């Protein structure tokens, strides 16, 4: 099976880019688009949905240094 990665629709020109891949039957994965051979986060559907909701709500933002 060949995984089809796509650039996240939330990606901006900030250098913080992720790619998303749907995984059958009900999963997803994300990776850093600048480091495609680096680590991949794997999710089942429920976990991915919770992750996306957390990011959209701003609860995964880094605190200022």
Q: Is the pTM of this model over 0.75?
A: no
> With 60 as the cut, is the pLDDT of residue 36 above it?
yes
Give the structural domain span for 43: 19-56
In a domain, 28, yes or no: yes
Distance CA 58, CA 9 (A): 16
Percent helix, strand, coil in the chain, to 5, is 20, 30, 50
In a domain, 44, yes or no: yes
Q: Which two tokens stand for residue 2?
A: 């060949």
In a domain, 13, yes or no: no
The whole-chain average pLDDT of the chain stands at: 84
Q: Which two tokens stand for residue 11?
A: 């990606």
In a domain, 24, yes or no: yes
pLDDT at residue number 50: 94
For 19, residues 6+ apart whose C-beta sits below 8 A from its C-beta are: 5, 6, 7, 8, 30, 31, 32, 33, 36
């Amino acid at each position: 099976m060949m995984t089809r990665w796509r650039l996240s629709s939330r990606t901006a020109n900030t250098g913080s880019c992720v790619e998303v891949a749907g995984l059958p039957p009900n999963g997803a994965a994300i990776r850093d688009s600048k480091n495609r051979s680096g680590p991949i986060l794997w999710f089942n559907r429920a976990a991915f949905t919770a992750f996306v909701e957390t990011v959209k709500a701003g609860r995964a933002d880094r605190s200022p240094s």
